[in-house]
Structure 1
Amino acid sequence: MPVNPPKPKSPKDIKIQLQGFNNLTKSLSFNIYDICYAKTDKHTQRYIEYIDEAYDAERLTQILTDVADIIGANILNIARQDYEPQGASVTMLISEEPISSEALSNTMAPGPLPDAIVAHLDKSHLTVHTYPESHPDNGISTFRVDIDVSTCGRISPLKALNYLIHCFDSDIVTMDYRVRGFTRDKKGKKHYIDHKINSIQNYIAKDTKSKYQMIDVNVYQENIFHTKMMLSDFDLDNYLFDEKATDFTKSEREKIKKQVQHEMLEIFYSQNLQNL
């Protein structure tokens, strides 16, 4: 159940003179999961190979480059690696791109895709890591992507959220957003957050939210926000690799459906549930 204490009064976007640089740190961390059923060991291996190729270090670098464009960042350095037998990582160091203050926005609204946004970022980083894996004996495979977008300054990394969700086949998404530290105005007063927020959901497009079951756990007084998403509709064909639902008998389809949904629920609730 959501744990939402009474909402305190949130400050408006800071429009006062600060003492030096706005050094609030805003961090968005989230995990994206893609679930798949692969009929045989050979299918499982092909699925892992497919994922490893589709989301290799080069592709992930392009995704993070697009994120940098969304939030208006200069890329200072890129470190990337494809691992054996599978998986990849990319880390970018970034700095702010000079943009007029009129372009800055922390409003609680979904961030558009990269061809429609100009924003502002200060020195920080973007990272992405992938983790393909499979169950040893029941045909279930999962692909997890861990992404961190950390910014310093006025803009929130939540503006890149919609783009990242759409970059991957997102069956389940777990997101954490936190504002750390403080910035000080000319009078010496500390500000621990510089924009209104009561839920990460406010930054997700309406059509995306309509497709997911969502829950929040927010700790407003600590500027910590947590949201989980799981696809609501279930079409078995979307979870089969190299197979179609019609390739299975009715009883097989029902068994596979239960296995996949069981896997999704365990990930969504972060706990092992009773075996089917």
Structure 2
Amino acid sequence: MPTHTNFQAEAINDHIVNWLRAYATNAKVKGFVVGISGGIDSALTSTLCAQTGLPTLCVQMPIHQAASHVSRATEHIKLLKERFSNVSSAEANLTQVFDDFKNLMPQSSDQHTTDLTLANTRARLRMTTLYYYAGINHALVAGTGNKVEDFGVGFYTKYGDGGVDLSPIADLTKTEVRLLAGYLAVHDAIITAAPTDGLFGDDRSDEDQLGASYEELEWAMEENDKGKNADDFEGRQKEVFAIYKRLNTINQHKMQPIPVCEIPLNLK
């Protein structure tokens, strides 16, 4: 598995905070909006944004949310507001909006397809909500995706949690996210919680959905970058590498720019 013996938390923290501040200044916006889920990625992102000194709005958007997710999110926001006077909070309970939308739409004959589509709908309702708050506050939506999710296995919803203005932690693996979160004293209950997207209204973890842990996928991502293939490994490593390659392949449509049909000049 990857090692992080040279991880310079203080320098990385300063680099990201300075990058965020410079980007917002150049964009001539007032600050940031971050969706808070109760997970480590959003906790770290909001802490980084808060350090810029610019107004940082933390938004909770429960949709039939597990009580543990809500309590972790609430506690994180409370602690962040105690540490930073530029942090404020809002809650938009989208449960009724989601239920109304669900009741309005047809469902697939395949229950799995319906469940997955509705999970993505939750993420897209939240994206719309964050952009509303960003609009009325002249702010940027800060993304919370990490490197493995965004560029490895595409574990996010297109135009949902993938719909953001800037991505401050997208060059950090999950392991590095934990290291930086620990350095910044993010609440321990968040750091140790099993990662979950919370989109299905149950307790399934990211690992349950992906079939491998983030640490395993980080390893597979590194090996793939070295040009390795599944035949180079045996046992669990072979299985994990195959999982990574399958997800990386089927989710390229998320990670690549939108394809444009270019019209030959002689036709225009």
TM-score, L = length of structure 1: 0.26
- Tell me: higher relative CO, structure 1 or 2? Use CA pairs within 8 A at least 6 residues apart: 1
**More helix, by proportion:** 2
Using structure 2 for the length normalisation, give the TM-score: 0.27
